Structures are given as C-alpha cells and as structure tokens.
Copies of this chain bind each other. A is one copy, B any other.
C-alpha cells in the first residue's frame, strides 16, 4: 500500500523552473484561445506556484499519478484547469499536443478538471471544495501509512466559501502535517476585486487562528515559492498554508491586474502579442506515440459476503441502528472501510463501528460539507468511506454530492431521521426532500430499507457498488419483517402480500411500509386484499418488473411515503411506469404536503395523511 514513486522528477534549477512557468503560461493561453473560452488570466497568476509544486516539490510517478504512494495535487480553483493540464503534460502524464483539445466534446480536458484525466482525483469547479478533498487524501495517505504529501491550490476568491474554513479547522485539529495549501491571492474575482484584495495579513491571521503554519510570499518569485514549499515539506506537526501574493494575468503587460478579463480567452492577435512578450513559444511537438497514464479511479474492493444477520421476526430495531451494526460488521472484514461523522454518531449509529474500529472513524464535527468532500478524497485513496448525518443535514452538502457524482466518486452516504416520523423535534430535523435530492444525482443508488435485515444487507451492497450510494434510515424502531437469509438485489423490490384479487398495489418504504402492512390487515377484515410492495431500492428501479405488479392490480396504485410529494417514491414510480410504457389507471399518492411541525410520530403520520388509516381509505376509495 505504501509503494514509493517509481521515478521522481530530477530537481530543476531556478532557471529551469522559470522556464516551466513560462511554458505553463503559454500553454494556458494557447489552449484557451484555441477553445474560444476559458480562464487564462486565472492560470497566469498561478504559473510560478504550479511550476514550484509540479517540478520541484511533488514526487509522483507520471505513469501512475493517482497512486497511493505518490504526492497528490488538487486544483481547488478548478477554472484554472488549463494550467493544471499544462503541468500534467509537461510532467509527462499526457502529451503536450493534447492540450489543444481543451473543451472539445471528445476531449477529457474539460472546462474544469474531472478524474477522467490521469492525475486528477476529484472534480473541481464548484469553488471551496478542494481543501476538504485534500484533507481526505491526506487522511487516506495516513491510514495507509504512505509518506505522500497532498498539495491543494486555492484561489483567494474561493476562500470566502465557508467550507474552506471547515476544512482548515479539521485539518489542523487532525494534525495533517502532510497537507499543504497554497492560496493564489491575485485579488481579482469574477466580477470585481476580492473581499481582502492583497491584505495578505488577513489570510495569514485566518489560517493561523485555525491552527495552521502560515507564511506570505511573492507568488511570482520562483525562489520564494521553492523555499516556502521546502519549509512546508519539513513541517510535520500541522498543515501549512503558503499565501502567495500574485497578479491575475501576470507575465503579460496588458493582462496583469486588469479587470474584466475573468473567463475570457485572448484573441489570436492578443495571443501573438502575449507570446512575443514572453519570449516566444516552442513548437507543439506531435505526440511521439509512447504510452501514457490511464485515468483510473479506485474500484470497490472485493470481499467475502458478510454472514447472515441474526434477527428474530418482529424484533423491534430501527434501520439507523442496523446501519451502525452493519458498519461494525463490515469493518471487521474490510480494512479499507472508514466512517466520517458530523457530531451525530450516537444518532446515526456510526458510534457502533467506532466502538470496535475507533481508528477508522473520523470526527468532522458539525461541518457536513467538509465531511462529504473529505469522503471523496478518502475514496480517491482507495478507501471505502461511509459518511452519515441526519438526512436533512445532508442537504447542506448537496453541491458536494453533485461534484462527487461529476467526479465519479465512490462515496457512501447515510441519512438518518427521515420524515415526519421523527416527531417532536420538528421540521428542521426532518428530511422530506432527501430522496428528491439524491435521485437527481446521476448514477446514484438510492436505498430505503424498512427493517434491520434489509438495512444490513444493503449497507454491504453499498460497499460493493461502484457509485455514489445513499441510504435513508428511519428514527423509529420497526419490526423485522425479513428472514436473515433474504437477499436484496439492486435494482429490486419485495412483494410482501399478494392475492389473485388485490384491489390495488400499495408501494411504500420505511415507516409507511409498516403502515401499509397495518392497512392490509384492517382491509382484510373488510374482505379487501392488497398487494404491498417494499420499494427498498428507489433508484434504479426495475421498471418492467414493477409494471407487472401494477398491471396485476388493474393499474390501481397507492403510493405512501414519508417525504414531500415531489421527487420521492411517488414520482420515481410514475416515471418508471412511464418508461415501461404502463399507464396506471388511477393513482393515489399519499405524501407530506406542506411544512410539518412538532408532534408525536403517530400523530404526525396521521395528520400528514400517510398512516395506515389513510392508506386503507385510499384503497377503499379506488
């Protein structure tokens, strides 16, 4: 796990590093001019910094730039992608000629970096997330006893994002001495001057207040950059911030520190002038046909199946509790398993794992954005992260989840305390939009178990699945309904009751599944039978199989969910049936409509129309 880099760049002289910086500038401008869009001036301010990081400080194998043993780099200011691509090309990760494909439909060199590119560990471009990813990579290196160092380049504009300070606080608290942040303080944002402009002492005070070693340098003095990077490397007790005073557009007289150049490529004429000012550009050599690094994100590890669970039918266990039990069991056989908590481990039951594997549970405190982006960094080191919070608080990290999906990250998330069934704490603690949120994440797997057996099995499935997985767990204890040997394929659902003469198909999950089962009993007393479906996998849905059930009840459908009406089970089912070409003849959709409030769980289920009584009434009205 701690393979050292197989080759390291030969140390370059300061003159050679200056030449690298010059080339990075030229590549960045050429590529954006060819693309007709992009952010060349945001690249120019970072040229010496990038030269220092890539050609002096970093030790990595250009044929395996994402190896655990090698140093890693995160471009948090993702819009400076061209200078990263230029540095990767000059490092030999891919040919320089490829830079001219920037932003083409068929090129992996997109407007902002994604892990489709070797050497990139996470998608960036939504600002302020990179330091958290870096912290996750640093934790990943530490867990795997790698001596590697993580470098993160931030812009000054993005330092306004609170997540940067979540990550800063965490990294110092966790004593991540293997993490170095460099802030490219060019003082110009997209639409004007940044908040602090070149008041470098403010940035220094902020990082120091958060427990970092911090120093201010001239970011265009390559000797200063190199010296600061050397000092950072020799610091092991805490993370280091290098605050580099730079000018946006530096190196080209008509760009340097000029407003209204953000996100604008140079015209061909301006490009020629700029290159002339920089002393002329080399010819772009055609690719010499040698083989290059491939972009490979870690895949989920293989591991033997967990032994069957040991529950009794009817035993009262909350799915959130089963989540914790499953994590603990997984941890005992899967060394790559790690968990991240946001100070709610006693609610999500992450603490169950912590009791037996404390060194693999990381406390991110109340900072959900950092928690999720850190998990992305951990996954990029080959770990299998599970991050959990109240489901409603994962809405705090929706942008981070979105970016994780763009980066094809293999993180696992669990949200507890869904729906009105949490009761008295009230709406701020109820997740009623989490299914809508996670269903709209491309490629995500969205799971919603209703009992302890399915919850445990599905946690195991999450660890094996190469996608963002989300599990929704419930606060109340619910009876175990499945046998310990039951399996839960993804996609899939379970039919819990079925006769030849069912009045309707009732689809539910979580607490409403148990309400549906109660409704089935009360309806049976009236001579009415129903088909009850446990839709434990909300995304993907086996649409054709589900359509068979709906057809069997004459297209009569009742859906009950402890979620708002939009984007949850109901719409998932309607969309699946539409895609399968089946039109339900009549649909009763029971969901939470309007903002709920405090009350007892049973009162709330009833008041918001999703209790057994309402399900039975909906069936009878069909």
Give every chain B residue within 8 A of A441 (Cβ-Cβ): 433
The smallest beta-carbon distance between A504 and chain B, in angstroms, is 14
Do A157 and B575 form a contact, CB below 8 Å, given A365-B195, A403-B428, A428-B406? Answer: no
A44 to B572, alpha carbons, bound, how many Å?
A: 45
A6 within 8 A of B: no
The smallest beta-carbon distance between A122 and chain B, in angstroms, is 11
Residue in contact with A162 in the complex, picked from B209, B367, B574, B589, CB distance below 8 Å: B367
Q: Which residue of B lies closest to A364 (CB)?
A: B160
B161, A164: Cβ atoms closer than 8 Å:
no
Give every chain B residue within 8 A of A597 (Cβ-Cβ): 105, 110, 114, 116
A345 within 8 A of B: yes
A189 within 8 A of B: yes
A441 to B424, alpha carbons, bound, how many Å?
A: 21
Binds B, one of A14-22, A271-279, A600-608: A600-608
Give every chain B residue within 8 A of A344 (Cβ-Cβ): 190-191
A432 to B35, alpha carbons, bound, how many Å?
A: 24
Task: Write out, one digit per residue, whether chain A residues 85-114 have a CB within 8 A of any chain B CB (1) or not (0).
Answer: 000000000000000000111010011101
Task: Write out, one digit per residue, whether chain A residues 564-575 have a CB within 8 A of any chain B CB (1) or not (0).
Answer: 111110111011
A575, B581: Cβ atoms closer than 8 Å:
no
Q: Which residue of B lies closest to A589 (CB)?
A: B578
A463 to B128, alpha carbons, bound, how many Å?
A: 31
The smallest beta-carbon distance between A259 and chain B, in angstroms, is 10
Which residues of chain A (167-207) have a CB below 8 Å from chain B? 169, 173, 189-192, 194-195, 202, 205-206
The smallest beta-carbon distance between A64 and chain B, in angstroms, is 24
A487 within 8 A of B: no
Give every chain B residue within 8 A of A123 (Cβ-Cβ): 427-428
A570 to B210, alpha carbons, bound, how many Å?
A: 47
B566, A440: Cβ atoms closer than 8 Å:
yes
A125 within 8 A of B: yes
Do A406 and B575 form a contact, CB below 8 Å, given A365-B195, A425-B37? Answer: no
Q: Which residue of B lies closest to A586 (CB)?
A: B581
Copies of this protein in the assembly total 2
Binds B, one of A246-254, A308-316, A390-398: A390-398
B429, A440: Cβ atoms closer than 8 Å:
no
A402, B395: Cβ atoms closer than 8 Å:
yes
Residue contacts A-B, CB under 8 angstroms, 24 given = A38-B424, A103-B426, A104-B599, A110-B597, A111-B425, A112-B428, A116-B597, A124-B428, A160-B169, A165-B165, A190-B346, A202-B209, A205-B205, A205-B208, A206-B206, A393-B399, A405-B595, A406-B428, A408-B595, A436-B439, A442-B564, A539-B566, A566-B575, A579-B589
A609 within 8 A of B: no
A522 within 8 A of B: no
Q: Which residue of B lies closest to A435 (CB)?
A: B440
Give every chain B residue within 8 A of A593 (Cβ-Cβ): 442
A347 within 8 A of B: yes
Do A365 and B426 form a contact, CB below 8 Å, given A191-B345, A442-B564, A595-B406? Answer: no
Give every chain B residue within 8 A of A426 (Cβ-Cβ): 103, 110-112, 114, 125
Q: Which residue of B lies closest to A571 (CB)?
A: B571
A321 within 8 A of B: no
B575, A366: Cβ atoms closer than 8 Å:
no
Give every chain B residue within 8 A of A396 (Cβ-Cβ): 126, 161, 398-399
